[in-house]
């Protein structure tokens, strides 16, 4: 079977650090091209300044991975789908829920695969955590997701603009795990979003959810963390506590602790290949819906100006 010819659109940090190695490590794909108006691309790989240029001049591609900021992703995805090209959406899948729904409908219409790729769901501890929790009573959940924005997103102005999500850019990773491992749906009850006086998106958030059986889920997000970073989910159950740490890579159960390898993007591309070969899509918007609810219902507080 011939490999799937894929182009990466948007050659920033996440593309270079994660997408390129994952594609090159998966024999189901061949990296056919890159696209960016601001980057020279990769040695030995055809590069174009725009998707229009790629589609007009080649090489031919079967799929694209969109690693651009979410605010500009809809038009690129719609353009690719119109050509019957399969589309991988980096998280978050779009700037709004409505545009993701429109893309999903378009993909179904043209018979192309659309993949809303939540990389944290493929962390080593997530699948066993989901299986362990399936038969447990959930009493309480605590999510602590604190990191240093200057380390992970230096100088990225788009992330502070409307649609860029602010601290929910990393926070949505935690929600992608929680919506996947917890056995019941949950919804927002209260939220406080903290916005720097010079930014349009929050630098911190405190959120309270409740699942359909009444269990409370508290979420603490902060982009001002220095020193060790915190990416932890603790679930109190009738069989004792479960803890996912290091973004889901380490699972601690009453019976012991398991450490996993970094397999997130390898898992994503394995899933994308399976979807393409099977003629299916995977577009889960639950994590983005919870973020949208935070902006819809959350109270705003203003804090000191933030500068990189």
The 10s digit of each residue's pLDDT in 79-135 is 999 999 999 999 999 999 999 999 999 999 999 999 999 999 999 999 999 999 998
User: Using omega within 30 degrees of 0 as the cis cutoff, is the peptide bond preceding 59 cis?
Assistant: yes
* Predicted pLDDT of residue 58: 86
Given a cut of 90, is residue 175 above it in pLDDT? yes
Instruction: Classify domain 120-260+292-303 at the CATH topology level.
Output: Dihydrodipicolinate Reductase; domain 2 (3.30.360)
Could you tell me the pLDDT band of residue 200, with boundaries at 50, 70 and 90? Answer: very high
Catalytic residue among 83, 91, 140, 299: 91
The 10s digit of each residue's pLDDT in 255-304 is 988 777 778 999 999 999 999 999 999 999 999 999 999 999 999 999 99
Sheet holding 86-89, edge to edge: 47-48, 29-35, 4-9, 63-66, 86-89, 114-116
Could you tell me the pLDDT band of residue 39, with boundaries at 50, 70 and 90? Answer: confident
Q: Are 168 and 205 in contact (CB under 8 A)?
A: yes
Rounded to two decimals, the pTM is: 0.95
Given a cut of 80, is residue 305 above it in pLDDT? yes
The 10s digit of each residue's pLDDT in 206-254 is 999 999 999 999 999 999 999 999 999 999 999 999 999 999 999 999 9
* Predicted pLDDT of residue 262: 74
What average pLDDT does the segment 168-178 reach? 97
Domain 4-119+265-283 has CATH 3.40.50.720: yes
Q: How far apart are CA 32 and CA 62, in angstroms?
A: 9
Whether 4-119+265-283 and 120-260+292-303 share one fold: the answer is no
Pairing of strands 230-237, 138-146: antiparallel
- Answer yes or no: 91 catalytic: yes
Spans of all domains in the chain? 4-119+265-283, 120-260+292-303
Q: What angle do CA 266, 160, 189 make, to 5 degrees?
A: 80
pLDDT over 70, % of the chain: 100
């Amino acid at each position: 079977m011939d490999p799937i010819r894929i182009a990466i659109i948007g050659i920033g940090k996440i593309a270079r650090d994660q997408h390129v190695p994952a594609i090159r490590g998966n024999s189901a794909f061949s990296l056919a091209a890159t696209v960016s108006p601001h980057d020279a691309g990769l040695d030995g790989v055809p590069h174009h300044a725009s998707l229009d240029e790629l589609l007009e001049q080649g090489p031919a591609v079967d799929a694209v991975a969109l690693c651009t900021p979410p605010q500009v992703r809809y038009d690129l995805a719609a353009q690719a789908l119109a050509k019957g090209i399969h589309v991988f959406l980096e998280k978050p899948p779009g700037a709004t829920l409505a545009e993701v729904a429109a893309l999903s409908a378009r993909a179904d219409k043209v018979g192309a695969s659309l993949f809303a790729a939540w990389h944290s769901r493929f962390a080593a501890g997530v699948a066993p955590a989901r299986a362990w929790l399936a038969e447990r009573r959930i009493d309480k959940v605590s999510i602590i997701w604190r990191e240093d924005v200057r380390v992970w997103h230096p100088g990225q102005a788009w992330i502070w603009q409307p649609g860029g999500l602010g601290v929910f850019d990393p926070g949505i990773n935690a929600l992608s795990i929680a919506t996947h491992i917890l056995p019941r749906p949950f919804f927002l009850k209260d939220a406080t979003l903290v916005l720097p006086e010079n930014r349009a998106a929050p630098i911190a958030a405190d959120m309270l959810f409740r699942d359909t059986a009444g269990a409370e889920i508290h979420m603490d997000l902060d982009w001002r963390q220095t020193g060790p970073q915190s990416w932890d989910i603790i679930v109190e159950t009738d069989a004792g506590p479960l803890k996912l740490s290091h973004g889901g890579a380490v699972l601690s159960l009453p019976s012991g602790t398991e450490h996993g390898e970094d397999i997130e993007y390898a898992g994503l591309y394995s899933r994308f290949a399976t979807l393409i070969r099977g003629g299916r899509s995977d577009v889960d918007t639950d994590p983005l819906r919870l973020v949208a609810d935070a902006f819809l219902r959350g109270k705003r507080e203003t804090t000191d100006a933030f500068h990189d």
